Structure 1
């Protein structure tokens, strides 16, 4: 089974205004939507489109948490969140006007008993399971939480995927994650060097492998992606043609496609193709990638 983790999920309240927003005055919306998400939940959503079952893990609280769970269930997603008694799952307000404005909620504090309950769920993972850790860690959790999770899973045959930045990613490398997915700018931060060519990116990915990562997938937005697999092979792929509408969730979609592709075929080249198709399908859409769009793009790569 594939498990995804979203420590601080959210309900995004998206408001569209067809005129310039006036601060300090009443502004009337032309339309609004509620989007349920978080990086791990995005991965689960795209996995579902690909016919792969997953379970979304994390923390929810209050009536907004119950609403989020009901909404994900209505979308056909399986969840196993830790229910917290205090606080509320956050609401992020996204205002789409002449200028885009965001007001992101903080989310609930995660107490010790909730953390232990989450660890009990992690302890149930067994050989052959895949765990996807994506995004930042809330302030109420230790910043070495990812590291502790991978340490907890050592020797149990669970494949881990980590999509994080800077120290969060660097700290997990000694635990040999199956896949890490920095973008090219994040890779530069990790190695401390400006990367100007595919050869330099491949060398930097090799450096991360020497530090422990098995497979390094480097996304490069409109320039495609580069994969250095655990056998030392370099796979380079371009990006299909299309109009970028919204890049939010594109990286999560690429992770979902790669994991699904590898789980199905154990072929890194195919996993990269499917990951690229999923990431692009999301970038070319208002929401997350849909099955039909993924399949259409896959034929063009």
Structure 2
């Protein structure tokens, strides 16, 4: 089974204006949507489109948390959230008015008892299960949280996938994650130098491998992606043609496609193709990738 963890889920309230946002004035929306998400939840959503079951773990609170949980269930996602006694699941306001303005909520405080409840759920994971940790750590938790969880699972054969930046990513490498997915800019920050070509990216990816990562997947937006697999083979893929209308969730979608593709075939080349199709399908859509869009793009890669 695949498990995703979202520490700070959100309801994105997306408001569209047909003119620039006016400060200190009344602005009337021309359209609005509510999107349920968070990075791990995005991964679960795309996995569902691929026909792959997962369980979304994390923390929710208040009426907004109940709304998010019901909405995900209506989408067919399996969840096993921990219900916090205080606070509320955050609402992020996204104002699209030519330029985009965002106001992101802080989210509820996560007490130690809630973290222990999450660990109790992770204690049930079995050999070859997949645990996907994606995104930043809320301010209420220490930045060692990912390390804490992976240390608890060490030696049990659980495949960890980590999509995080800088120190969060570096500090989990000793726990030998199955996959890490920095983008090329994040990878450059990690190794402390500019990466100007594929050879330099491969060298930088190999340094993460030397520290413990089995597979390093480097996304490069419109330039495609590069995978250095655990056998030392380099796989390079371009990006399918299309108009980018939404970059939110594209990286999460790539992770979902890669994991689904590998579990389905055991073939890293196919996993990279499916991951690229999923990431691009989300980038070319208003929301997350759909099965039809993924299949259409996959045939072109």
Q: TM-score, normalised by structure 1?
A: 0.99
Task: Determine if the alignment matches structure 1 residue 122 to structure 2 residue 150.
Answer: no
Aligned to 1:240: 240
The alpha-carbon deviation at position 19 of structure 1 amounts to: 1.6
Distance 1:28 1:241 in 2: 35
Unaligned stretches of 5+ in structure 2? none
Aligned to 2:71: 71
Q: Deviations over 1:88-142 (max 9, x none)?
A: 0000000111321110000000011111111111111111110000000001111
5 Å-filtered alignment, 1:137-216, equals: 137-216=137-216
Distance 2:253 2:15 in 1: 24
Q: TM-score, normalised by structure 2?
A: 0.99
Q: Deviations over 1:34-83 (max 9, x none)?
A: 00000000000000000000000000000000000000000000000100
Question: 3-state SS of the aligned residue for 2:218?
Answer: strand
Distance 2:127 2:20 in 1: 54
The alpha-carbon deviation at position 20 of structure 1 amounts to: 1.8
Distance 1:226 1:23 in 2: 43
Please give the root-mean-square deviation of Cα atoms over the aligned residues, in Å.
0.6
Unaligned stretches of 5+ in structure 1? none
Question: 3-state SS of the aligned residue for 2:245?
Answer: coil
Of 78-87 and 112-121, the range deviating more from structure 2? 112-121
Task: Determine if the alignment matches structure 1 residue 286 to structure 2 residue 290.
Answer: no
The alpha-carbon deviation at position 224 of structure 1 amounts to: 0.2
Aligned to 1:251: 251
Task: Determine if the alignment matches structure 1 residue 6 to structure 2 residue 23.
Answer: no
Aligned residues: 301
Distance 2:101 2:244 in 1: 19
The alpha-carbon deviation at position 143 of structure 1 amounts to: 0.6
Question: 3-state SS of the aligned residue for 1:216?
Answer: strand
The alpha-carbon deviation at position 163 of structure 1 amounts to: 0.1
Aligned to 1:111: 111
Q: Deviations over 1:206-234 (max 9, x none)?
A: 11100000000000000000000000000
Distance 1:82 1:161 in 2: 21
Question: 3-state SS of the aligned residue for 2:196?
Answer: coil
Question: 3-state SS of the aligned residue for 2:162?
Answer: strand
Distance 1:32 1:22 in 2: 17
Question: 3-state SS of the aligned residue for 2:94?
Answer: strand
Question: 3-state SS of the aligned residue for 2:58?
Answer: strand
Distance 1:187 1:98 in 2: 31
Aligned to 1:296: 296
The alpha-carbon deviation at position 253 of structure 1 amounts to: 0.2
Q: Deviations over 1:259-300 (max 9, x none)?
A: 000000000000000000000000000000000110010010
Question: 3-state SS of the aligned residue for 2:21?
Answer: coil
Distance 2:98 2:293 in 1: 29
